[in-house]
Amino acid sequence: MHRTAEAQATPAFRDHDVEAAIAFLEERDIDTLIVAGSDTHGVMRGKRVPIAEAPRALADGINLCNVMWVIDVAERDFVPCPDGVDGYFPTERNGYPDMRLVPDLATLRVVPWHERTALVLGDFSTPDGDPVPIAPRTVLSRLVQRARALGLEPHTAIELEFYALRETTESLVGKGSAQLVPYSLRPATYGVVSGSAQEPLTRVVREGMRAFGVPIEACNPETGPGQFEINLRHDETLTAADHAFLFKSGVKELAARMGLTATFMAKPHPEWSGNSCHAHMSMTRDGRNAFAAGGDEPGAMSATMRSAAAGMIATLAELTAVIAPTINSYRRFRPYSWGGTTATWGVDNRTVGIRAVCETPAGTRLEHRQGGGDANPYLVAAAMLAGALHGIEHRLEPPMLREDDVYALPAGEVEQAPTSLAQATEALDRSAVARTYLGDDFVDHYVAMKRAEITAANEAVTDWEIDRYLESV
């Protein structure tokens, strides 16, 4: 039987059989293995290993210096450990020791756009073998296990938006947002004719992801010029986050091979639509959707779904920094941006923070609409799952469903999300829920990283300031 490119890219095994993994690589004549994982920012970090070293790397992992956890997103500085923070925090005082990146063999796949290359994702551990508590994939994995202890299996689907720019690393040097050249000059939301003109890129992305084992359900032009939306197929939550993480890195590599730049920056241009990362979640119990009430009628929500929604709404503000991680994230938070800017919910209402989708019993789910394209997919899923579990474990009841235009409501009528990274970071630092579900180590580390980012932004002199003040004052 002929095997499809997707079947060739992804392994048939889902256990930790190193011999089967090596056979998989040998059958495909692989000579280079990338062992990789996610840093705090969602940047892929790792090493390339020659095939002769692959058995050892797959069995035991590879060493990386833990300084990668304190590199800022621009890779210009190391963030020092604040006074009074205990627990896991890399610092020059202990010499930035090694940690292990141990492969999860279920993620092994061929990288179809590289020559004779495969990739495997892994989890970070200390020299003693303990999980690194600030690693995003580990934070999400712990929450999945917590859900399973309640008899629930969370499922997630992630929608990502990005801009394709007719820019390269070299052409971007010194450019401001006004000088960026998009892949197409006019927006065309759902435009089929415009989409046909953009097929040289989108076909490469669709086919590349299919061969990479990252399943795409649909793609379309979005509201901004040269902007695209990709819907990834739903899966168990950790797998879905893996797919979104791989997608973001893969799209950047595929675009670069075409002389383009792909950016998931939340708001790359003040007049363009922002890039979103909308995340859908449901949970199954004994193989059935636990968010749907009994029967075959659409629109019926279970008590579990209502509690999950209540928890997401109750924690939206205090977990905003996790889902909106950069200074630029908050440029996107404006009326009719289709980003979730309020602690509200409604059925099929895209002006709320949490959208309930009740189209069929199997498809009943919650959509978190706050995240931007700049978010780390593991942390988007973790924040959403943390809120849901908080609601389920405490049997919370949600506020009233909104059927109106929430963006048009008078100020103060509903709770607003933080409007800056500084506000969001302080809310996260004070959040007992975040510390309970994400862990003190993660919160302390993440808050320190965000405060350093805020300081860097406050010290910057922007093009806007030069244009506004240089001659006038």
**pLDDT at residue 359, rounded to an integer:** 85
Q: Can you give the CATH number for the domain in which 194 is found?
A: 3.30.590.10
Listed residues 76, 102, 130: the one ending a domain: 130
Asked if 138 and 131 touch (Cβ cutoff 8 Å), the reply is yes
Say if 36 falls within a structural domain: yes
My answer on whether 352 and 377 are in the same domain is yes
Report the mean per-residue pLDDT for the chain: 93
**pLDDT at residue 1, rounded to an integer:** 28
Give the max Cα distance, the chain: 75
My answer on whether 158 and 123 are in the same domain is no
Residues of the chain with pLDDT below 50 are 1-8
Listed residues 81, 103, 130: the one ending a domain: 130
Tokens 């909308």 belong to which residue? 278
Say if 383 falls within a structural domain: yes
Give the whole-angstrom CA distance, residue 323 versus residue 427: 13
Give the whole-angstrom CA distance, residue 276 versus residue 141: 24
Residues 37-73 have pLDDT tens digits of 999 999 999 999 999 999 999 999 999 999 999 999 9
My answer on whether 96 and 173 are in the same domain is no
Asked if 154 and 236 touch (Cβ cutoff 8 Å), the reply is yes
pTM of the model: 0.95
My answer on whether 221 and 177 are in the same domain is yes
Listed residues 130, 164, 191: the one ending a domain: 130
Give the whole-angstrom CA distance, residue 227 versus residue 54: 38
Output DSSP code: residue 362.
Answer: T
Residue by residue, DSSP assigns 289-309 as ETTBPSSS-TTPBPHHHHHHH
Nearest to 122 by CA among 60, 209, 193: 60
**pLDDT at residue 14, rounded to an integer:** 53
My answer on whether 114 and 183 are in the same domain is no
**108: CB partners within 8 A, 6+ apart:** 10, 11, 21, 24, 118, 119, 120
**pLDDT at residue 117, rounded to an integer:** 98
Q: Which two tokens stand for residue 428?
A: 């996260």
User: Domain span at residue 330?
Assistant: 143-468
My answer on whether 210 and 149 are in the same domain is yes
**343: CB partners within 8 A, 6+ apart:** 313, 314, 316, 317, 353, 414, 415, 416, 417
Nearest to 175 by CA among 82, 261, 282, 88: 261
Written as one letter, the residue type at 335 is: P
Number of H helices, E strands in the chain: 14, 16
Structural domains of the chain, count: 2
My answer on whether 296 and 322 are in the same domain is yes
Give the whole-angstrom CA distance, residue 157 versus residue 281: 7
228 in helix, strand or coil?
A: strand
My answer on whether 112 and 240 are in the same domain is no
My answer on whether 353 and 301 are in the same domain is yes
My answer on whether 259 and 377 are in the same domain is yes
**pLDDT at residue 188, rounded to an integer:** 87
Residue by residue, DSSP assigns 265-288 as -S-SSTTSPPPBEEEEEEEEETTE
